[in-house]
Amino acid sequence: MATKYIFFTGGVVSSVGKGVTAAALGRTLKERGLTVAVQKLDPYINVDPGTMSPYQHGEVFVLDDGAETDLDLGHYERFIDIRATRVSNFTAGQVYNEIITKERKGDYLGGTIQVIPHITNEIKRRVALVAETHKPDIVLCEVGGTVGDIESQPFLESLRQLRNEVGRENVLFVHVTWLPYIGATHELKTKPTQHSVAALRSIGISPNIIIARSDHPVARDLCDKIALFCDVDKAAVVPMVTSKVLYEIPLLLEKSGLPDYVLGLLKLESRQKPNYGEWETIVQRVNMPKPPVKIALVGKYVELEDAYMSVREAIKHAALEAGVEASIEWIHSAELERDKNLDRLNAVDGIIVPGGFGSRGTEGKIMAARYARENKIPYLGLCLGMQLMCIEFARNVLGFADANSSEFDRSTSHPVIDLMNDQRSITDMGGTMRLGLYPCEIKPGTKAASAYQTQHIDERHRHRWEFNNKYREDFENAGMVFSGLSPDGKLVEISEIRDHPYMVASQFHPEFLSRPNRPHPLFLGFLRAIVEYAKQQH
């Protein structure tokens, strides 16, 4: 049977949760026994988000195959419980790169290269690649940005063409818009939605479904008005009020009747009755009163919580399982460094130092690691968080006063974190780190072993620097345990402090593999240690 496509476009403003909506709809379709694959199209010119600042873009989400992708891929993986691949995210930069490389080789000799057909054909080829690679019943494909953006036009044009090529009965357009609320008159407005649908129709796309996002309850007659003005079925306008509980959205979509409506339009049959038992348990647990715990997240991009999206979600997943209400205290590492005031860490039950690049704020993170070690506060280090934990240990336990990573200080006499050998000759910054899934062996009898309950693991990486093996013995003799190593024993993957309730850190990023119903072992171990620590404190 032909693959079906559901395209998601955004109207009015960005950041209204198009990715979450698409991911949640994906879940409801999977619950019906259908297979789904996902894709995010990013119309910006960067080749991938790997070289963009988290301030610009939020977190870079890393896949098994090492693709550095948009954070929406994280929503897809968490909601639908799939493992996406490189074909699931591409940018205008990749498309142009491909076409220009071919042009230079002479593939189009004599021809003029144009947006239509050259760029649009390449976009269509890449969209089809998801269906070819994953062979799903349905491809969910989200176009980044908002309808009306200049840069998204070739993408929308490609999808319009694709609809005719694969058959209209195989394609749906879902337009996700925003209803602004006017405080003075206490009303929601549909006009911007009408305009964005008009913009979409002016390029030949009539949406089949409109999802009206809002922070306020949306009355049925407002939806009917949208249906009338935007020329869609009444049943095709679905209000989606901002939910306090992210993981409730599949349940809300189910209640709205949208999944069956979608199957009806696509002429697909459900293969099984949806079973939301696990999701209902998650939502019940979220809504249950639980003892509070406070976790400090010491990072340099804390003004933008999206920069730590997967870490935040992984904390939530583990906290639900551990039966506590975890609140995050966002602490700016550069401020910690500047003010040298650790008072805020006094009141927390656990400390996370997440990944990062560049030297700004690293001394603040090292101070946080020291505080966690000396006060026996549970600590979880993620990538850079492991490197800094080792630097702190070298300075304050081993007495190597200027110990550092050669990333931050090239002239340190103790580069306890150093550039990996195969990184030394690399000059291109994009896509050249140690990226994606690599195996790791866990040392029995360690905290990592009791967290994982297994000896062999595979985790996602994104780094250039590593623990310098010259120092392994010194560290081990002083109480550091290297509890996870690459199978050849050459790379430190997990470190932990022996005489500490839970000071565990990994060179990889465990947050990318956490699921709402399957918290990541290292996060769960951390939360369990926090529960114990909090008991002693309160």
Residues catalogued as catalytic = 383, 509, 511
Q: Does the protein bind ligand GLN through residue 357 (CB under 6 A)?
A: yes
> Binding ligand GLN by CB under 6 A: which of 356, 436, 519, 521?
356
Minimum separation from the CB atom of position 464 to ligand GLN (A) = 4
57 vs 463 by CB, closer to ligand GLN: 463
What are the beta bridge partners of residue 461?
436
- For tokens 């994280």, name the residue: 74
- Count of chain residues binding ligand GLN (CB under 6 A): 10
15 vs 53 by CB, closer to ligand GLN: 53
209 vs 505 by CB, closer to ligand GLN: 505
What's the gap between Cα 428 and its chain centre? 24
Q: Does the protein bind ligand GLN through residue 465 (CB under 6 A)?
A: yes
Vertex 351: Cα angle to 349 and 357 (nearest 5): 165
Q: Does the protein bind ligand GLN through residue 300 (CB under 6 A)?
A: no
61 vs 465 by CB, closer to ligand GLN: 465
What are the beta bridge partners of residue 332?
299
How far apart CA 323 and CA 290 sit, in angstroms, is 6
What are the beta bridge partners of residue 188?
181
The pair of three-digit structure tokens given for residue 338, joined into one six-digit string: 């500047």
Minimum separation from the CB atom of position 356 to ligand GLN (A) = 5
Q: Does the protein bind ligand GLN through residue 463 (CB under 6 A)?
A: yes
Contact segment (CB under 6 A) with ligand GLN among 80-88, 144-152, 349-357, 391-399 equals 349-357
The pair of three-digit structure tokens given for residue 499, joined into one six-digit string: 């005489």
Contact segment (CB under 6 A) with ligand GLN among 286-294, 350-358, 439-447, 496-504 equals 350-358
The pair of three-digit structure tokens given for residue 536, joined into one six-digit string: 């002693």
Minimum separation from the CB atom of position 461 to ligand GLN (A) = 8
Q: Does the protein bind ligand GLN through residue 229 (CB under 6 A)?
A: no
CB crowding 154-165: b at 16 or more within 10 Å, else e: bbbbbbbbbbee
Minimum separation from the CB atom of position 255 to ligand GLN (A) = 39
Q: Does the protein bind ligand GLN through residue 6 (CB under 6 A)?
A: no
- For tokens 């459900």, name the residue: 270
467 vs 502 by CB, closer to ligand GLN: 467
Contact segment (CB under 6 A) with ligand GLN among 73-81, 296-304, 459-467, 519-527 equals 459-467
The contact mask relative to ligand GLN for 370-389 (x = CB under 6 A, - = no) is -------------xx-----
Largest Cα separation within the chain, whole Å, is 77
Q: Does the protein bind ligand GLN through residue 355 (CB under 6 A)?
A: yes
| 255 phi and psi angles, rounded to 5 deg | -60, -35
How far apart CA 298 and CA 510 sit, in angstroms, is 17
Between β-strands 4-10 and 138-143, what pairing exists: parallel, antiparallel or unpaired?
parallel
94 vs 507 by CB, closer to ligand GLN: 507
Which among 266, 213, 385, 244 is positioned nearest to 316, based on CA atoms? 244
Contact segment (CB under 6 A) with ligand GLN among 216-224, 253-261, 285-293, 354-362 equals 354-362
Q: What is the DSSP string of 276-297?
A: -HHHHHHHHHHHS---EEEEEE
30 vs 434 by CB, closer to ligand GLN: 434
Task: Give the sheet arrangement for strand 503-506, strand by strand.
Answer: 325-332, 292-299, 350-353, 379-382, 503-506, 492-497, 480-485, 434-442, 456-463
How far apart CA 452 and CA 484 sit, in angstroms, is 11
Contact segment (CB under 6 A) with ligand GLN among 36-44, 242-250, 355-363, 522-530 equals 355-363
Residue 258, H or E segment: helix 258-266
Minimum separation from the CB atom of position 416 to ligand GLN (A) = 13
Contact segment (CB under 6 A) with ligand GLN among 194-202, 308-316, 462-470, 482-490 equals 462-470
Contact segment (CB under 6 A) with ligand GLN among 220-228, 276-284, 351-359, 452-460 equals 351-359
How far apart CA 1 and CA 8 sit, in angstroms, is 22
Q: Does the protein bind ligand GLN through residue 462 (CB under 6 A)?
A: yes
Angle between helix axes 277-287 and 309-322 (nearest 10 degrees) is: 90
> How many Cα atoms sit within 13 Å of 50 on the Cβ side?
24
The pair of three-digit structure tokens given for residue 522, joined into one six-digit string: 């290292």
203 vs 420 by CB, closer to ligand GLN: 420
Which among 195, 116, 217 is positioned nearest to 162, based on CA atoms? 116
Minimum separation from the CB atom of position 355 to ligand GLN (A) = 3
Which among 131, 133, 20, 120 is positioned nearest to 80, based on CA atoms? 20
Minimum separation from the CB atom of position 70 to ligand GLN (A) = 17
Minimum separation from the CB atom of position 349 to ligand GLN (A) = 24
Minimum separation from the CB atom of position 463 to ligand GLN (A) = 3
The contact mask relative to ligand GLN for 405-444 (x = CB under 6 A, - = no) is --x-------------------------------------
Q: Which residue is nearest to ligand GLN (CB)?
A: 355
Site residues (vs ligand GLN, CB under 6 A): 355-357, 383-384, 407, 462-465
